[in-house]
Amino acid sequence: MNCRQVVELMTDYIEGTLPADDRARFEEHIAGCDGCRAYLAQMRVTRRIIGSLADVPIPETVERELLEAFRNWRQA
Amino acid sequence: MGAEDIHDPELEALKAGDEAAFQSLIQRYHGPMLRLAMTYVGDRGVAEDVVQESWLTCVRSLDRFEGRSSLKTWIFGIVINIARARRRKEARILPFTAFWRRDDSDSHRPTVDQSRFGSDGMWRTGPRSWDNVPESKVIGGETLQKVKTAIDALPAKQREVILLRDVAGFDSAEVSSLLGISAANERVRLHRARAAVRKMLEEYLG
């Protein structure tokens, strides 16, 4: 496996969906390749940064309106 | 979904009218729902409407929800339905929208610039480690803004997958089921989306 092939298998590797023999060849390549190891680490950091986009606080006015709707539903 | 979901304590609390349970739910999912809605409708104000309408639909339908899927999957399914309906409506109004452009989401074309590899397929100049980039920069406001812009620029099919997986935190099977796509398609779209964001980050972080 060369670097060009390895980079396209990164997500399959992270997802754990590579067949065992491909996985072994992938790991063998990664062990000896600084560039691909850095790429794999970057893919993981990328995922972590994207995950932090979830932290959007709900505006207070929206929260109040929704809680009121919930209360009304309960009383209905 | 397993039988344990039917006895989801959170769902039971909601059905019993527990306001604190509902508050915790909206605080947790508001952000991911808003981002997901923006995937379909673009405009933030419209996306906020979609999220609000989704919550009201959830509240009105709660009695009928039997917990056959997880509560979270049910809620995000409602967001997707409402957002898609809204997109169709907007598409009729706007003379041109980018939502319908052709895209390469399902292709297996390379995600890395081929000029970075030599004729032997090995890196000419490999990516550099980000280990020495300060954490304050890695998750700093400017980085997040750039990541948002990069995600906005993705084709819609990739955007919805990366939003559901990496922002909303669904697993692969849940996303395939929510979007009605195969696991293989889901993975290809996720790969293309993450690779595009990584590429932008490499240009920015070094």
Each residue's pLDDT tens digit, B106-120? 888 999 999 999 999
Tell me the whole-structure pTM to 2 decimals.
Answer: 0.88
The residue among B107, A46, B166 whose CA lies nearest residue B175 is B166
pLDDT of residue B107: 83
Binned at pLDDT 50, 70 and 90, residue B102 comes out as low
pLDDT of residue B98: 52
Q: Tens digit of pLDDT for each residue in B111-154?
A: 999 999 999 999 999 999 999 999 999 999 999 999 999 998 99
B206 in A contact zone (CB under 8 Å)? no
Q: Which two tokens stand for residue A9?
A: 């298998």
Q: Tens digit of pLDDT for each residue in B160-204?
A: 999 999 999 999 999 999 999 999 999 999 999 999 999 999 999
A5 in B contact zone (CB under 8 Å)? yes
d(CA B157, CA B106): 9
Q: Which two tokens stand for residue B158?
A: 């990739």
Angle, CA of A23, A2 and B157, to the nearest 5°? 70
| Nearest-Cα residue of chain B relative to residue A51 | B167
A24 in B contact zone (CB under 8 Å)? no
Binned at pLDDT 50, 70 and 90, residue A56 comes out as confident
Q: Which of B75, B125, B167 to mutate to test the interface with A (most CBs of A within 10 A)?
A: B167
Using CB atoms, pick whichever of A15, A58, A70 lies closest to residue B19: A70
* Listed range (A63-67, B86-90, B202-206) with the worst mean pLDDT: B86-90
Q: Which of B18, B57, B59, B111 to mutate to test the interface with A (most CBs of A within 10 A)?
A: B59
Q: Tens digit of pLDDT for each residue in B14-43?
A: 999 999 999 999 999 999 999 999 988 878
B148 in A contact zone (CB under 8 Å)? yes
Give A37 to chain B, closest Cα distance, Å. 8
Angstrom CA distances, B69 to B136, B168, B169, stand at 38, 16, 16
Task: Check: CB of residue B176 under 8 Å from CB of residue B183.
Answer: yes
d(CA A53, CA B145): 9
B84 in A contact zone (CB under 8 Å)? no
Q: Do A4 and B201 touch (CB under 8 A)?
A: no
The residue among A53, A70, A71, A75 whose CA lies nearest residue B55 is A70
